[in-house]
A and B are shown apart, each in its own frame.
Chain A
Amino acid sequence: LAKTTQPISMDSYEGQEVNITCSHNNIATNDYITWYQQFPSQGPRFIIQGYKTKVTNEVASLFIPADRKSSTLSLPRVSLSDTAVYYCLVALGSGNTGKLIFGQGTTLQVKP
């Protein structure tokens, strides 16, 4: 399973765009990149998933360069409620065992 590296913490202000980058140098061909959000005392919540290039949904965008050795989660115009821990995970695609190994995550603090 590919190991991921993220900044431990980030600070932002309401209304700003936040970009969190994750390194996954050992990503395999079949691996997908998935980001989860976790609030205190809650289970992680799926944010977005991608394989290559750019993916966008109603809450975030995910940018993946051609070599796929990193990815960037972009949160547009954050609010106080976006304060949470964000995890970047890499897991197998085809033949997916579903097994996820969590890294340390990035604690995002949004200030007023």
Chain B
Amino acid sequence: GAVVSQHPSRVICKSGTSVKIECRSLDFQATTMFWYRQFPKQSLMLMATSNEGSKATYEQGVEKDKFLINHASLTLSTLTVTSAHPEDSSFYICSAPSLVSHEQYFGPGTRLTVT
């Protein structure tokens, strides 16, 4: 089946620095990808829709200047957490919709810890 990868799988950074997370569709093209955030013991929260060749669409309450999304190709979307703070520590997951069904393919997630 289709696979979505994320890199890195886990990252630790200092407060105030920026961190980039990559999401790749490995064997299919994805004009749209989605970014989610998940805090411990909670559900996934949709952050934004990444659109290839155009600006991302952010969900209400998500700061677009803090969570920069770039979808430069049909197989890669990146999420950059700028000026990270400890409260940004979370599990970040991306997904891409199937081209042939209504299924979403999810990446394995990236654990971000800000110290």
Interfacial residues, chain A to chain B (CB-CB below 8 A): 32, 34, 36, 41-46, 49, 87, 91, 93, 96-105
Contact = CB atoms under 8 A, between A and B. Distances in A.
A98 B107 CA distance: 15
9 contacts: A34-B103, A41-B91, A41-B111, A44-B95, A46-B104, A46-B105, A100-B95, A102-B45, A103-B43
B69 to A, nearest CB: 15
Interface of B: 4, 6, 32, 34, 36, 43-46, 49, 91, 93, 95-97, 101-109, 111
A46 B101 CA distance: 12
A42 B95 contact: no
A93 B102 contact: yes
B46 A102 contact: yes
B106 A44 contact: yes
Contact of B34 (A32, A100, A103): A100
A96 B44 contact: no
A94 to B, nearest CB: 10
B106 to A, nearest CB: 4
A32 B102 CA distance: 7
B46 A100 contact: yes
A102 B97 CA distance: 15
B107 A43 contact: yes
A63 B103 CA distance: 18
Given A98-B104, A102-B46, A43 B93 contact: yes
A101 B4 CA distance: 19
Given A98-B97, A99-B34, A104 B106 contact: no
